[in-house]
Structure 1
Amino acid sequence: MQAESKKINKGLLLTILIFGCFLSTLNQTLLNVALSSLMDVFDVTATTVQWISTGFMLVNGILIPVTAYLMKRFTTRQLFLSAMLFLLIGSITCAAAPSFSVLLIGRMIQAAGAGIIMPLLMSVVLAIFPVEKRGSAMGLLGLAMIFAPAIGPTLSGFIVEYHSWRWLFIGLIPLVLMVIVLAFKYLVNVSETSKSKLDVVSVLLSTIGFGLILYGFSSAGSKGWSDAVVILTLAAGASVTALFCIRQIKSDDPLLNLAVFKNKVFTLTSLINVLITMMMYADMILLPIYLQKGRGFTPFDAGLLLLPGALVNAFMSPVTGKLYDRFGAKPLFIIGLLFIIPAMWAVTDLSQSTTYTYLMIRTIGLRIGLSFITMPLNTAGLNALPRQLGTHGTAVNNTVRQIAGAIGTAVVITIYTVQATSHAATVMHSNPSTTPELLKSLASMLGASDAYYFMMILAAAAFVITLFMPAKSKMMPEKKAAGSSKEGAPL
């Protein structure tokens, strides 16, 4: 693999993959600002419309465990082109969607493509870059991956306000076609394939388990936490997921190799990953809903507010990648969380007098914190693993992130919905003459404040876990493992 990697034009290969990843990530976050408008267009509630995001992440989360198998069975070209075709078909379906159900189906087809791209990109980096240069390489990936969410909300807000929401998808179609043409012409393979057998039972168990858990969390918003359907769904989902985990541990050729969790650093980074992802995705959806439903801002205003922070996040990513290579993960995580915790606390008391500038500065602070954590988190966890577990580490990492993002979004929107309903009842009881518009605004603000209290607790928990991370000198077993295990499976 080392000899082969020298012949590869790394710049051209990464450019094509990053362009595809950029479109996939842009597509994932493009609708966050548009959710409030889609609630009105299709006459659905916040709990229903959030499935546009959670459904996307769920399909991602279900598909990602299969990518470890797919990357053994198919070449880089085959997987990348398949992913882009899914993105193209899904975009066409969404653009023509006559109803919310068809829109949701289109989003899930898009998600099938997105679920392949991210693990594929990370595995290519592991394959063609030595361990001491991966922080910088991941930082460049982060620039592309974070730049997409940076421009997504503003672009989305502009399109929704001045054009039809359908242009969010129509605009993607020519760009995806361009990537497909470039990939056909220039993309080369960096992986070696083998005739692996797919464990269909494991795929079914992971799909049913994760699906039931997410459905339970999402349904709590409309049915309540004490509802029998919610409790039974969550219990059944947890049981099936436990069976999936037991099967993976006992299998000689697991779909998702859970042996990666025997590594302390990987386990700690995975726990931090869960908490950070829950906060990041939930904030990207909750803040635009608060701005539009609670304060009456336009979708474009809401998107514009998120832009400076996201741009800072994107351009700091290569810098924090280099800092990671020099100082290791622990100091970066601590610095990042010292930005994130105050940023969450700053929005636990939202009101009509909370200014647009205040929210923008707070969001910049949050994004600075996230830039110290997101890409170094992935790099630290994967670098700690021996080479033969690289693809499984990537698959587990991405599965954890997508499931955490989906559950985090569902939980936070559920808290927001339940608390907003409760506050509306309290306001009406104390002041029955409150107008419907003011009632809706007050309930939205108070519900969002309560949801941010929950997110601040998640940030504090992540800080505590970070304190158990070892220093840089104790986090580099990969070099030893790479030298002693020449028989490791190629990525």
Structure 2
Amino acid sequence: MHLSEKGHTYALFAIVVITCALGSLTQTVMNSMLTEVCDDFAIDAAQGQWVTTIYMLTMGVTVPVVTYLARRFSLKRLVYLALGFYLAGSVAGLFAPVFAVLIAARVLQAIATGITLPLVQSVAMTRFPRERTGTAMGIGGIAMGFAPNIGPLIGGALAGSWGWRSFYIILAGLLAVLWVANAVLVKSHGDHDTRPVFDYPSFVQSTLGFGGLLLGASNAATMPLSAPSVWLPALLGAVFIAVFVRRQRVIAHPLICLDIFASRHYRPGFVAQNCLFASFMGITLVLPLFIQGPCHMTALDAGIAFIPATVVALFVNPLAGVLVDKVGARAVCITSSVFLTVGAASFMFVGPGTPLWVLTLLQGVRAVGVSGLVGPLNSYGLSGLSGGLVMDGSAFFATARQVCASLGTALMMLIVTVVGAAVAVADPAAAGAAAVDGGASLSALPYQLAFALSTLFAAAVLVTALWKIR
């Protein structure tokens, strides 16, 4: 099949976006399948949570390496590499005889997702005309906004009908189609350096640094801050990241070139995006707990509250990208930040008697803000970088926001757990009926404080948009 140069670009971008969307979907789909997985392998929930934790950790340590891989391989070969890891992981997950094999499968899938996340942004910024990059980034935002939100819903539906392994059957089929599409539709470009230098000390430092922070943040969501499993990996992670950053500034061939921070666009885009992910990712865990706890509703009700927001993301992501190309990033980011902040702040005033439709509406308002910011912040932040630095900027964007999302979630869960326990001890009659971490009864107050923290992060996005995005 013969395609024009533009056709090859569109085909490449579609394959990368769909692969990345499947990766983001795979990251969250297991959340609603954990009960079935635990029953199947006869393990407890603490062990079962590793299907999510290992995915997050592997993504965090894979993304920084993508800059080297992009210099080493053509984009077509890099997509083949990602699809290969993903397909192998899906087949291994489908036939996993023991839990350890499922964990290995999740590692392979997370490597693929770690490769495709920065690829989406890089292709959007380097393969499309400048006047279309916002639109391309908006479409790519579906992979980062819509896909992970729909994951738990799909997982719950499949687990309740055909079993959790059915997801891997569907996934393997889709990936096989994408493999064929990449072979037939994508042109192999010679846009790579066949002799790039891989700095192994930088790789070790980034792995220990970002991996340590992610592990500490993940553990902080379920353990006290005084636990060595929380503060030790977090402390070591911070130390290794500092060493990693210093090394990148002095060596000739850095793993990630930190000249990206010389861009006046990249810095505010970086700060705003990290605050955005810290604000909204934690709510995807806290809100269902609130609905099923103080509100005394069902798991189905918790899922319903996210459905309109998920649909909003599907349409607002590309629309925001188009608007960036038409009116500029500043107007879109400020407007979306207002939606995000108003929606987040409104949750501070909900209580056990708040109807489900109100919670759903407020979550929809937040979703407009989130979906209107993901693509525009990416395109604005990367727009000031030269072509050779776009992949570095994309990789650091993806890694940092993963860490900030985990930290935001951990802090919100810490508030829910600690304040909830204090409320239960001080006034057991006032505490709600939710059970978190061993059965501590919680009132609405801990959740309201967690929503307040989300609001602070959202307000930081708004301030950054007003002050720095031009």
Query: TM-score if structure 1 supplies the norm length?
Result: 0.85
Q: Which residue of 1 aligns with 2:113?
A: 114
Q: CA deviation at 1:382?
A: 0.8
Given that residues 57 and 211 in structure 2 are in contact (C-alpha distance below 8 angstroms), is that contact kept between their aligned partners in structure 1? yes
**Separation in 2, partners of 1:426, 1:44:** 29
Given that residues 344 and 452 in structure 1 are in contact (C-alpha distance below 8 angstroms), is that contact kept between their aligned partners in structure 2? yes
**Separation in 2, partners of 1:295, 1:40:** 28
**Separation in 2, partners of 1:159, 1:295:** 27
Measured at CA, do residues 431 and 66 of structure 1 come closer, stay the same or move farther in structure 2, by a change above 3 Å? closer
Q: CA deviation at 1:50?
A: 5.5
Given that residues 93 and 106 in structure 1 are in contact (C-alpha distance below 8 angstroms), is that contact kept between their aligned partners in structure 2? yes
Given that residues 60 and 211 in structure 2 are in contact (C-alpha distance below 8 angstroms), is that contact kept between their aligned partners in structure 1? no
Q: CA deviation at 1:296?
A: 5.7
Measured at CA, do residues 16 and 213 of structure 1 come closer, stay the same or move farther in structure 2, by a change above 3 Å? closer
- SS of residue paired to 2:198: coil
Q: Which residue of 1 aligns with 2:87?
A: 88
The Cα offsets for residues 205-260 of structure 1, whole Å up to 9 and x where unpaired, read as 01011122222233334442234553333222211110000000111111011111
Structure 1 unmatched runs, 5+:
472-491
Q: Which residue of 2 aligns with 1:481?
A: none
Q: Which residue of 2 aligns with 1:23?
A: 22
**Count of residues paired in the alignment:** 464
Q: Which residue of 2 aligns with 1:135?
A: 134
Given that residues 73 and 196 in structure 1 are in contact (C-alpha distance below 8 angstroms), is that contact kept between their aligned partners in structure 2? yes
- SS of residue paired to 2:348: coil
The Cα offsets for residues 307-336 of structure 1, whole Å up to 9 and x where unpaired, read as 211211221222211211122222222211
**Separation in 2, partners of 1:129, 1:10:** 8
- SS of residue paired to 2:192: coil
Greater Cα offset, 55-64 or 184-193: 184-193
Given that residues 209 and 236 in structure 1 are in contact (C-alpha distance below 8 angstroms), is that contact kept between their aligned partners in structure 2? yes
Establish whether residue 359 from structure 1 lines up as the match of residue 359 from structure 2: yes
The Cα offsets for residues 4-56 of structure 1, whole Å up to 9 and x where unpaired, read as 994653332322222222222221232344457768884325xx766544432
Given that residues 135 and 322 in structure 2 are in contact (C-alpha distance below 8 angstroms), is that contact kept between their aligned partners in structure 1? yes
Greater Cα offset, 249-258 or 299-308: 299-308
Measured at CA, do residues 325 and 218 of structure 1 come closer, stay the same or move farther in structure 2, by a change above 3 Å? same
Given that residues 153 and 307 in structure 1 are in contact (C-alpha distance below 8 angstroms), is that contact kept between their aligned partners in structure 2? no
Correspondence list, 1:79-228, <5 A: 79-97=78-96, 102-143=101-142, 145-190=144-189, 192-194=191-193, 195-228=195-228
**Separation in 1, partners of 2:440, 2:174:** 38
**Separation in 2, partners of 1:236, 1:102:** 29
Given that residues 337 and 462 in structure 2 are in contact (C-alpha distance below 8 angstroms), is that contact kept between their aligned partners in structure 1? yes
Q: Which residue of 1 aligns with 2:10?
A: 11
Q: Which residue of 2 aligns with 1:484?
A: none
Correspondence list, 1:298-337, <5 A: 298-337=298-337
The Cα offsets for residues 446-473 of structure 1, whole Å up to 9 and x where unpaired, read as 54333222111111222222222142xx
Q: CA deviation at 1:435?
A: 7.8
Structure 2 unmatched runs, 5+:
none
Establish whether residue 56 from structure 1 lines up as the match of residue 55 from structure 2: yes
Residue 243 of structure 2 aligns with an amino acid whose one-letter code is: L
Establish whether residue 462 from structure 1 lines up as the match of residue 461 from structure 2: yes
**Separation in 2, partners of 1:355, 1:90:** 42
Given that residues 336 and 368 in structure 2 are in contact (C-alpha distance below 8 angstroms), is that contact kept between their aligned partners in structure 1? yes
RMSD of aligned alpha carbons: 3.0
Residue 18 of structure 2 aligns with an amino acid whose one-letter code is: F
Q: CA deviation at 1:101?
A: 5.3
Q: CA deviation at 1:445?
A: 4.9
**Separation in 2, partners of 1:444, 1:82:** 49
**Separation in 1, partners of 2:347, 2:311:** 21
Establish whether residue 392 from structure 1 lines up as the match of residue 392 from structure 2: yes
Measured at CA, do residues 219 and 121 of structure 1 come closer, stay the same or move farther in structure 2, by a change above 3 Å? closer
Q: Which residue of 1 aligns with 2:230?
A: 230
**Separation in 1, partners of 2:12, 2:458:** 36
Measured at CA, do residues 322 and 420 of structure 1 come closer, stay the same or move farther in structure 2, by a change above 3 Å? same
Correspondence list, 1:301-450, <5 A: 301-428=301-428, 440=439, 442-443=441-442, 445-450=444-449
- SS of residue paired to 1:264: coil
**Separation in 2, partners of 1:91, 1:160:** 16
Q: Which residue of 2 aligns with 1:281?
A: 281
Residue 291 of structure 1 aligns with an amino acid whose one-letter code is: I
Q: CA deviation at 1:180?
A: 1.6
Measured at CA, do residues 340 and 243 of structure 1 come closer, stay the same or move farther in structure 2, by a change above 3 Å? same
**Separation in 1, partners of 2:183, 2:297:** 44
Measured at CA, do residues 301 and 39 of structure 1 come closer, stay the same or move farther in structure 2, by a change above 3 Å? farther
Q: CA deviation at 1:63?
A: 0.9
Q: Which runs of 4+ in 1 moved over 6 A?
A: 36-41, 434-439
Q: Which residue of 2 aligns with 1:489?
A: none
Identity, in percent, stands at: 30
- SS of residue paired to 2:225: coil
Given that residues 83 and 114 in structure 1 are in contact (C-alpha distance below 8 angstroms), is that contact kept between their aligned partners in structure 2? yes
Measured at CA, do residues 77 and 307 of structure 1 come closer, stay the same or move farther in structure 2, by a change above 3 Å? same
The Cα offsets for residues 28-87 of structure 1, whole Å up to 9 and x where unpaired, read as 232344457768884325xx7665444323321211111011000012122112212222
Greater Cα offset, 359-368 or 403-412: 403-412
Given that residues 415 and 450 in structure 1 are in contact (C-alpha distance below 8 angstroms), is that contact kept between their aligned partners in structure 2? yes
Measured at CA, do residues 226 and 451 of structure 1 come closer, stay the same or move farther in structure 2, by a change above 3 Å? same
Given that residues 54 and 406 in structure 1 are in contact (C-alpha distance below 8 angstroms), is that contact kept between their aligned partners in structure 2? no
**Separation in 2, partners of 1:265, 1:358:** 37
Given that residues 126 and 387 in structure 2 are in contact (C-alpha distance below 8 angstroms), is that contact kept between their aligned partners in structure 1? no
**Separation in 2, partners of 1:436, 1:306:** 20
Q: CA deviation at 1:117?
A: 1.0
Residue 274 of structure 1 aligns with an amino acid whose one-letter code is: N
Residue 377 of structure 1 aligns with an amino acid whose one-letter code is: L
Residue 64 of structure 2 aligns with an amino acid whose one-letter code is: P
Establish whether residue 44 from structure 1 lines up as the match of residue 63 from structure 2: no
Given that residues 58 and 402 in structure 1 are in contact (C-alpha distance below 8 angstroms), is that contact kept between their aligned partners in structure 2? no
Q: CA deviation at 1:437?
A: 7.0
Q: Which residue of 2 aligns with 1:478?
A: none
**Separation in 1, partners of 2:101, 2:419:** 30
Greater Cα offset, 214-223 or 450-459: 214-223
